[in-house]
């Protein structure tokens, strides 16, 4: 039986929540370290006390937040492998062999469909990787503990795919690397959820922490914009595009917000989820047709293959 709550069940819970323990979850004493962590995550991500109590009582660490951890370990491992192979950790993108990997998206190789997702495992340098991994772990792990790997994986992968497709449509000559599409989808969805439920969110220093998250996102986005327009090390191939960040933000502010707003409810019962999912699917289909036909119709001059 599914553990997702229907709308009718949710209404019953909301009406009967006053019959639960009268004290706030913050007033619980005698909690172990793991229970305090779960309580902390509940206040970080959930705006309603009844949902926080539900989560606190039902969470068992089984399964653990494996998706974000597995993606992060894989990205760090791939970065270290290419760091040793290219003999550099800073600005790996300046190496002539960087784009020869089978992982990055390259406009000349856009027929290789796996590159629209696999580009997340390559990063331009340790400065790029560090910012992405910090945001991915600090935001992604708590969100996955609350919403589960399936939902957070959906938002992350949709952000990744939207990022590469957005580049292929708007910045047609540029390659793409980095996990920023998925990271920005998660962070944008979380920040929007906090703003939309400002009075209900009880996390400490929320204004300061939101400001710090926005600063980190701005620094990373600014670095990407600077790198895109910096003279490339090996012209005529330009440096990687920054548009994937924007694709991730759009996914986070639409599909991601709906997922985070409906904790423990069946998404298939939410009309807004289907609206955004259909719009996203339409965008993917249009982008696929664009990649098939537009490059030749517009006679785009692409850089040579790596």
CA-CA-CA-CA torsion sign (120, 149, 217, 79): negative
CA-CA-CA-CA torsion sign (6, 12, 14, 19): negative
Catalytic residue among 180, 188, 190, 241: 180
> Whole-angstrom Cα distance, residue 163 to residue 169?
10
Active site residue 245: yes
Q: What is the DSSP string of 185-230?
A: HHHHHHHHHHHHTTTT---TTHHHHHHHHHHHHHHHHHHHHHHHHS
Active site residue 190: no
DSSP, collapsed to helix, strand or coil, labels residue 5 as strand
Q: Are 244 and 166 in contact (CB under 8 A)?
A: yes
> Whole-angstrom Cα distance, residue 83 to residue 90?
9
Catalytic residue among 106, 123, 190, 245: 245
What six digits make up the tokens of 250? 């759009």
**Catalytic positions, written as ranges:** 180, 245
């Amino acid at each position: 039986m599914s553990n997702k709550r229907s709308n009718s069940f949710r209404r019953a819970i909301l009406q009967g929540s006053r019959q639960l323990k009268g004290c706030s979850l913050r007033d619980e004493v005698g909690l172990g370290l793991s229970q305090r962590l779960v309580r902390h995550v509940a206040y970080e991500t959930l705006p309603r006390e009844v949902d926080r109590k539900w989560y606190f009582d039902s969470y068992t660490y089984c399964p653990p937040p494996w998706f974000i951890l597995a993606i992060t370990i894989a990205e760090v491992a791939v970065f270290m492998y290419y760091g040793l192979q290219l003999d550099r950790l800073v600005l790996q993108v300046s190496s002539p062999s960087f784009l020869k990997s089978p992982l990055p998206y390259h406009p000349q190789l856009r027929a290789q469909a796996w590159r629209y997702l696999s580009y997340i495992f390559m990063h331009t340098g340790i400065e790029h990787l560090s910012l992405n991994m910090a945001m991915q772990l600090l935001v992604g792990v708590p969100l996955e503990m609350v919403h589960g790997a399936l939902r957070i994986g959906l938002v992350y992968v949709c952000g990744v795919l939207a990022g590469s497709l957005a580049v292929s449509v708007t910045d047609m000559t540029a390659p793409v690397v980095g996990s920023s599409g998925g990271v920005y989808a998660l962070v944008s969805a979380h920040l929007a959820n906090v703003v939309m439920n400002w009075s209900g969110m009880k996390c400490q220093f929320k204004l300061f922490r939101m400001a710090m998250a926005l600063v980190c996102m701005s620094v990373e986005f600014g670095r990407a914009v600077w790198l895109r327009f910096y003279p490339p090390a090996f012209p005529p191939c330009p440096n990687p595009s920054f548009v994937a960040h924007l694709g991730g933000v759009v996914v986070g502010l639409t599909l991601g917000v709906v997922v985070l707003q409906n904790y423990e409810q069946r998404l298939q019962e939410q009309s807004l989820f289907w609206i955004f999912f259909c719009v996203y699917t339409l965008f993917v289909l249009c982008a696929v047709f664009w990649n098939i036909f537009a490059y030749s119709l517009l006679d785009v001059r692409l850089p040579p293959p790596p």
